[in-house]
Structure 1
Amino acid sequence: MRILYLSQYFPPEVGATQTRAYEMASNWIRQGHSVTMLTEFPNHPSGIIPQEYKGKLIERSILDGINIIRVWVNASPIKNYRNRMLFYLSYMLNAIVTGLFFVRGRFNIIYATSPPLFVGGTALVLSYLKRIPMVFEIRDLWPESAIALGELSNQRAITWATRLEEICYRRAIQVVVVTHGIYDRLIQRGVPQERLIVIPNGANIDLFTFKASERGQIRKELGLEGKFVAIYAGIHGLAQGLETILESARLLRESPNIHFLLVGDGPKKAEILSLARVYKLPNLTLLPEQPRETIPGYLSAADIALVPLRNAEIFKGALPSKIFDAWACERPVLISIDGEAREVVENVRGGIYIPPENPTLIAKALIELMNSPLELEVMGKNGHAYTVLNHSRKILAERLISHLENYVKK
């Protein structure tokens, strides 16, 4: 099949959205399909477009067989409501124009991933005008999640966003969701069951493996030899509530054998750095965003991976890919997400659950886990076996494209 893939975020940006889009597209290429990726000039999450893109409106390139067309966006390091809207809308408008006039050839489907929801708006226009079937992927319910996190409160904006969302569901020949929680919610909202398919997040099990040599090297470089290391590697955003992790570190500052390692960037990174300076924590290391190919080494250097989200009802349907990345590296997880993620982790016996935004219980759990190395090893191996069997990115991509091929043929 020939696929026009719309994802506002894409490598070299680092993040779950970028990784899923790249892994899906690259696996489809290896299966003999053609993929054109319509994305933005890289800037996320810093909001700064690299110098080599300045003065351009469009740039074409090829990455691992994926035809990439990048468009200019109105990016800004200041993440207020106005700037976010300009950012999203600039992608939508420029992607529509580019898709209509600069994307060559015929396509069997348009595959659009949301959020940002405005990617769905792009797909709607291109699907209608170019008469191409549209597949809509939902990684997070928007605007519901934005409302729950306090990011969106303008009633007019909520109304318009909800209308756009519902039009996307109606137009799509298939709606791909990443969790059963989102699946159930869309059923409640009237999306026909036969138009829904669950393709969960996963891990690249070829890239994400336990790396003993890198474990020793990284621990030595960071002065973590002999420490029990709890790592968080990912976006430093509003949803994660990383202030809770810093509060746990503050509670454990007199426990010198436990160390926290936070790797990544994002809109809340400046606040996290500021809070760390106030707390003056000797048991905390903060690193900037790292290339994705180095993350398995950092996970291997840790003893447990932290996967937190804020205490919001919407997150009971979340199942972050960080869980599977950690498990692929044989690292157990400490999750602070109730609902579907908790159920998976407890059923697999690949980690422990702590209620969201509870630094005291996180601190207590880490002390207990530090003194239970055999239990940690078993949890890590349980998670690894489950991920290889059920959450390989390659297998998930094959499952999805096989489903879409059959559906398009109908």
Structure 2
Amino acid sequence: MKLLVICQYYYPEPFRISDICEALVERGHDVTVLTGLPNYPEGNVLDAYRGGKNRKEVINGVNVIRSFEIGRGNRKATLLLNYFSFALSASYKTLLMKEKYDAVFVNQLSPVMMGIPAMVYKKKHNKKMLLYCLDLWPASLTAGGIQKDSRIYKLFSHLSTWIYRSADQIAVSSTMFQSYLNDTIGVNSSAIVHLPQYAEALFTEKVEVDKGKQFHFVFAGNIGEMQSVDTLIKAADLLRNDASIQFHIVGDGSKLEECKALSKNLGLENILFHGRKPLNEMPNYYSLADAMLITLKDDAELSSTLPGKVQSYMAAGKPIIGAINGETSEVIEAAACGYCCEAENVSALANLIVQFCQNSEKEQMATNSYDYYCKNYSKERFLAVLEETLIKMEV
């Protein structure tokens, strides 16, 4: 197939869509990606892409076209400008596109507006559109402090409904997304496909690491408003007198400096911030971990999300300890691969970490984690379902 993929984020930004597109090329498809200018998560466009540079690239067989966008910055106003600048500029590019593609695939994270350029191409060329929903809109706005009765929420509610209903098929990464799209948005259940994420192969790599005599707990990924990493830091504060426990935070994001400041103000010595690391270095940190950590804000809609790091943690064969509600909590329980407490419950998270250190079944949890991944989240299964869905849409 000849595919047009639309996603605001792409390599060198740390998103799985790059691996998905390269895998589709390996399976014989001709893939073109329409994306933005790399600026995630730091918020500033990389120098290599400023001033009109590198607007067209070929990366590992994938044709990459970059549209203008304003960097995310570190304020809500600039983030909103970032969202709309890509939607508008990419829509203009699709309007001018003469090349014919068999189908359009939208990898929809936040914002949902990245689906608009696909709708423009779909309407102009009479092609079908598959939208892969990884963040629910407008539901995810509530976690950012926007009230449901506000004008901005109502605006995005109408916008989201318009975009979701315009898709011919919607793939969802979480089972809880299905009921939301069906009941709240009004998407027919027959148009929804369950497509949980997978993890890149490198996460299965094992690296020899000197752990000493401590237990190491690792959080890896974006450090933003939704991730509630401060819950982890406050739990570390409760465990500050236990010299056998060491915390590691690997990643970057809008709340990193705030989290560092909190740790410093508390005078913590049991938590290390490693910053953002290249993907190929992540097996070092995963191998260090006795267990991986996951936290999320206490928000009803946000809890329906299954963060992609869950699959990465499981692919690495690591137990998971979480302060998180909803789908992730259910997956950890079903896999019997760790412990979970309510989102933002600091004392409960600290207690679970102590409980894990005292548990003699750590190796079994690790085995359960990897086995559950292989059965439910393998890359081969993901690509088979994605490819089958796209082929059915070819017109």
Would you say same fold, with TM above 0.5? yes
Q: Secondary structure at the match of 1:183?
A: helix
**Cα 1:51–1:145 shift into 2, 3 Å:** same
TM-score by length of 1: 0.91
| CA distance in 2 between partners of 1:212 and 1:51 (Å) | 33
TM-superposed deviation, 1:309: 0.6
Residue 222 of structure 1 corresponds to which residue in structure 2? none
The answer (yes or no) to whether the contact 1:315–1:337 under 8 Å persists in 2 is: no
From 106, 122, 144, the equivalent of 2:100 is 106
User: Which consecutive segments of 4 or more residues in structure 1 shift more than 6 A?
Assistant: none
**What does the per-residue CA deviation read over 1:179-203, in whole Å, with 9 as the maximum and x for residues that have no partner?**
1100111121321111110101221
Structure 2 residue 188 is matched with structure 1 residue 185: no
Letter in 2 for 1:10: Y
Structure 2 residue 238 is matched with structure 1 residue 212: no
Residue 66 of structure 2 corresponds to which residue in structure 1? 70
Q: Secondary structure at the match of 2:330?
A: helix
Residue 385 of structure 2 corresponds to which residue in structure 1? 399
Q: Secondary structure at the match of 1:134?
A: strand
Residue 132 of structure 1 corresponds to which residue in structure 2? 127
**Cα 1:130–1:406 shift into 2, 3 Å:** closer
Letter in 2 for 1:67: N
The answer (yes or no) to whether the contact 1:327–1:387 under 8 Å persists in 2 is: yes
Higher alpha-carbon deviation: 251-260 or 289-298 = 289-298
Structure 2 residue 226 is matched with structure 1 residue 239: yes
**Cα 1:24–1:76 shift into 2, 3 Å:** closer
Note the residue ranges of structure 2 that are not aligned, 5 or more in a row: none
Structure 2 residue 8 is matched with structure 1 residue 8: yes
| CA distance in 2 between partners of 1:271 and 1:148 (Å) | 18
Letter in 2 for 1:87: N
Higher alpha-carbon deviation: 146-155 or 390-399 = 146-155
Residue 155 of structure 2 corresponds to which residue in structure 1? 160
Residue 170 of structure 1 corresponds to which residue in structure 2? 165
Letter in 1 for 2:355: E
Residue 118 of structure 1 corresponds to which residue in structure 2? 113
TM-superposed deviation, 1:104: 5.3
Q: Secondary structure at the match of 2:287?
A: helix
**What does the per-residue CA deviation read over 1:125-167, in whole Å, with 9 as the maximum and x for residues that have no partner?**
2221232211122111111111243146783332232222112
The answer (yes or no) to whether the contact 2:138–2:153 under 8 Å persists in 1 is: yes
| CA distance in 1 between partners of 2:164 and 2:239 (Å) | 47
| CA distance in 2 between partners of 1:365 and 1:43 (Å) | 36
The answer (yes or no) to whether the contact 2:131–2:169 under 8 Å persists in 1 is: yes
| CA distance in 1 between partners of 2:133 and 2:380 (Å) | 19
Structure 2 residue 305 is matched with structure 1 residue 318: yes
**What does the per-residue CA deviation read over 1:38-58, in whole Å, with 9 as the maximum and x for residues that have no partner?**
111111111111212221176
From 333, 337, 340, the equivalent of 1:346 is 333
Higher alpha-carbon deviation: 35-44 or 51-60 = 51-60
From 36, 43, 50, the equivalent of 1:47 is 43
Structure 2 residue 256 is matched with structure 1 residue 260: no
| CA distance in 2 between partners of 1:169 and 1:122 (Å) | 13
The answer (yes or no) to whether the contact 2:324–2:342 under 8 Å persists in 1 is: yes
Letter in 2 for 1:113: N
**Cα 1:153–1:166 shift into 2, 3 Å:** closer
| CA distance in 2 between partners of 1:359 and 1:365 (Å) | 10
Structure 2 residue 11 is matched with structure 1 residue 25: no
Letter in 1 for 2:36: E
| CA distance in 2 between partners of 1:110 and 1:168 (Å) | 14
**What does the per-residue CA deviation read over 1:316-354, in whole Å, with 9 as the maximum and x for residues that have no partner?**
312122122111111100122222222221111111111
Structure 2 residue 374 is matched with structure 1 residue 388: yes
TM-score by length of 2: 0.95
Q: Secondary structure at the match of 1:111?
A: strand
Residue 191 of structure 2 corresponds to which residue in structure 1? 195
| CA distance in 1 between partners of 2:13 and 2:118 (Å) | 22
| CA distance in 2 between partners of 1:91 and 1:76 (Å) | 11
| CA distance in 2 between partners of 1:73 and 1:316 (Å) | 30
**What does the per-residue CA deviation read over 1:273-292, in whole Å, with 9 as the maximum and x for residues that have no partner?**
11111011110100110111
TM-superposed deviation, 1:24: 2.0
TM-superposed deviation, 1:86: 1.0
From 314, 330, 336, the equivalent of 1:327 is 314
**Cα 1:91–1:260 shift into 2, 3 Å:** same
**Cα 1:76–1:119 shift into 2, 3 Å:** closer
| CA distance in 1 between partners of 2:125 and 2:74 (Å) | 36
The answer (yes or no) to whether the contact 1:37–1:66 under 8 Å persists in 2 is: yes
Higher alpha-carbon deviation: 255-264 or 320-329 = 320-329
- The number of residue pairs the alignment matches comes to 393
The answer (yes or no) to whether the contact 1:127–1:134 under 8 Å persists in 2 is: yes
The answer (yes or no) to whether the contact 2:128–2:393 under 8 Å persists in 1 is: no
Note the residue ranges of structure 1 that are not aligned, 5 or more in a row: 220-224
| CA distance in 1 between partners of 2:315 and 2:323 (Å) | 19
